[in-house]
Amino acid sequence: MKIVNIGKENATFQEILAIKNNRNKRASTHLFFIEGVQNIKEAINYKWEIEAFIYTKDKPLSNWAKNILNIANKNFVLTSSLMQKLSDKSETSELLALIKVKEQKNVKYSKNPLLILLDRPSKKGNLGSIIRSCDALNVDQIFYSGHSVDIYDHEVITASMGSFFKLPITFIKSNQDFINLIKKLKNEYKQLQIVATSLQTDDRIQDQDFTKPTLLLIGNETNGLTKFYIGNADTLVKIQMREGIDSLNVACATTACLYEIQRQRN
């Protein structure tokens, strides 16, 4: 295992910082940055490749941290001041990490799959919270499309509380990719229904039958679903709210929808 000591803001440190903060850098290196015990534990548990751990010798490591150092391809040893510049926490984590992007291939679904598509998610905290809810409420796979926040952004991953590493998350590049996905899914699951959330309907979510395979479409925080997705849905549903309230935070709305689906299935 290679150990690289970094004592100043050299090119290597700048690259680590760029991977943390720059979407294009993450895309070109196929690496992303994480912080926090829960995220690191789940990355290891779900067999994501650890490119590097990052830590300082200025503070002693816990036995847990010492025992996993050899998992990484290399380790970066920084000064405590450089660790503070990388960390988002007031009290710097003992370990930071760079993780290799993993392609999600040959995803296996349950017998009665629940899938979700997020159209142009635009807020990092919301996306992370949705991923966490999807994990808790038995979603088989997450799809996302359009101009969205980067799922590999460290703020998204932190907000997911480790759930990011458990769920297959796949980008839908175009409308045609979505059509191809639907054809494939409907070929495998004859009863598959595509249900879109919308304010432009009187049909309540609790009146929809979710006991069969379902792809749930969730729109952008500000603009909802595009006309394309609305046009390709089998049915539209809404969360009924008291008069005067016309919307919820998208993470809260998604969680409410997923909870109703699981309530019916249970």
- 76-132 confidence digits (pLDDT tens): 999 999 999 999 888 889 999 999 999 888 899 999 999 999 999 999 999 999 999
Q: Please tell me the predicted confidence (pLDDT) of residue 155.
A: 96
Instruction: Give CATH for domain 114-265.
Output: 3.40.1280.10
Q: Please tell me the predicted confidence (pLDDT) of residue 243.
A: 77
Structure tokens belonging to residue 114 = 């629940």
Q: Cα–Cα distance between 112 and 245 in angstroms, integer?
A: 33
How many other CB atoms sit within 10 Å of the CB of residue 55?
21
Pair 51, 32: CB distance under 8 Å: no
In the chain, where does the domain assigned CATH 3.40.1280.10 lie?
Answer: 114-265
Q: Please tell me the predicted confidence (pLDDT) of residue 223.
A: 86
pLDDT band at 165 (very low <50, low <70, confident <90, very high): very high
Angle between helical axes of 124-136 and 250-265 (0-180°, round to 10): 10
Q: Please tell me the predicted confidence (pLDDT) of residue 17.
A: 97
Q: Please tell me the predicted confidence (pLDDT) of residue 109.
A: 95
According to DSSP, the residues that pair with 237 across neighbouring strands are 197
What is the phi-psi region of residue 22: left when phi exceeds 0, alpha when psi lies from -120 to 50, beta otherwise?
beta
Structure tokens belonging to residue 108 = 């296996």
E strand map for 36-178: 50-56, 74-78, 96-100, 114-119, 141-145, 169-172
Structure tokens belonging to residue 145 = 């499309």
Pairing of strands 193-197, 214-218: parallel
In the chain, where does the domain assigned CATH 3.30.1330.30 lie?
Answer: 2-100
Q: Please tell me the predicted confidence (pLDDT) of residue 51.
A: 98
Query: Kindly report the CA angle at 182 between 180 and 187, in degrees rounded to 5?
Result: 100
Domain 2-100, second-level architecture: 2-Layer Sandwich (3.30)
Report which secondary-structure segment, H or E, holds 166: none
Q: Would the pLDDT of 244 be above 80?
A: no
Report which secondary-structure segment, H or E, holds 188: helix 175-188
E strand map for the chain: 2-6, 31-35, 50-56, 74-78, 96-100, 114-119, 141-145, 169-172, 193-197, 214-218, 235-237
How many other CB atoms sit within 10 Å of the CB of residue 171?
12
Q: Cα–Cα distance between 91 and 83 in angstroms, integer?
A: 10
